[in-house]
Chains A and B, each alone.
Chain A
Amino acid sequence: MDITKLEDFLDDSGIVFLSYGGMLTQDLISNMTDALEKEAEKNNVSMSASTNIFTIFVELSQNMMNYSKSKAENNQKFDPKGLVLVGYNKEDNSYYVLSRNIVDITDKDKILPKLEEINLLSRDEVKKKYRELRRSGLDKHNKGAGIGFFEISKRCDNIDFNFKQINENKYQFMFQANIINKQKQEK
């Protein structure tokens, strides 16, 4: 294995770090968040952009962690191989957080309408809906409030997602949130 090639690839793609394969754990997530904080400090990322990046990273990672765990607890056959990465795009001074994992068709049918709805909403509408759902607790479940994708969407500039069918029951779910590193405006 040529590590230099991997390093060059990571540098060229602006990848700050990534985690691939295996199950995510809370410790791993918090260590990655620590690394992110150092990166943000080093690169003078505004505090607003960096807290948004951390929050989105945590949401996506915990989603994947909880999803793998729930599958493992139910003894379902499941491929825990997930990917989560944070990258930087020099061209427009933006960061992105990307996650990819395998989900069942039943979960795709739950997630997709939510994401499609979010994509039709303006930023203010996303914020409004987020607060409505938080108040009503309508989508609350034992691990969370069911408002994670709204949380992500109100903290980034745009989202991108797709579901690629692997077989009859499984889809590869890719999700990306882009965060522009706006400089703090002088008041």
Chain B
Amino acid sequence: MENLIIEETKYTPSINLDAKKGLIELVGKSYPENTFEFYKPMMDWIEEYFNGNELPKTIINFEIIYFNSSSSKLFFDFLDLIEEMANAGKYIEINWIYDKDNDSALEAGEDFKEDFEKLNFILAEK
């Protein structure tokens, strides 16, 4: 399965989807103009990856400095999909990486952790 790499811009994070390493990584800011459109290739890739192309262990690194409300919804839907996969027996670890001075990023991570209790969701201070 091909990797998918999307370069960082001023308002979208770098996206690194690496099937061979079992790594899904988002780093940067997220406030695209058309959030759902922007993330569609990523969502499609993830569905394909977990459709038999996944490694025994998948690591997801989220390092988002700030994001708009449509990205917040998108991340929720993303984690919802991941939870579905985890419930189906896939081993997935999620690292929510935040700067120690960024209380909002920590709070956002705490909320997601609570919303998805079944996920292996780790709050990781940078």
Chain A residues near B (Cβ < 8 Å)? 26, 29-30, 33-34, 46-48, 51-52, 54-55, 58-59, 62, 65, 127, 131, 134-135, 137, 140, 142-145, 147-148, 150-151, 155, 184
Contact = CB atoms under 8 A, between A and B. Distances in A.
**Max count, chain A CB within 10 A of own CB: residue among B33, B36, B76:** B33
B69 interface: yes
B70 A48 contact: no
B101 A52 contact: no
Interface of chain A: mostly helix, strand, loop or mixed: helix
A51 B73 contact: no
A26 B68 contact: no
A155 to B, nearest CB: 7
Contact of B35 (A29, A55, A144, A151): A144
A47 B10 contact: no
The size bracket of the interface on B is 20 to 34
Given A131-B111, A145-B70, 4 more contacts: A55-B67, A58-B68, A144-B69, A144-B73
Interface of B: 10-11, 31-36, 65-70, 72-73, 76-77, 99, 101-105, 111, 115
B33 A65 contact: yes
A150 B69 CA distance: 9
23 contacts: A29-B31, A30-B31, A47-B99, A51-B65, A51-B104, A51-B105, A52-B104, A54-B66, A55-B66, A58-B31, A131-B111, A131-B115, A134-B73, A135-B76, A137-B73, A137-B77, A143-B34, A144-B35, A144-B68, A144-B69, A145-B69, A147-B69, A150-B69
Contact of B11 (A30, A48, A151): A30
Nearest to B68: A58
Contacts of B69: 59, 144-145, 147-148, 150-151
Nearest to B99: A47
B76 A134 contact: yes
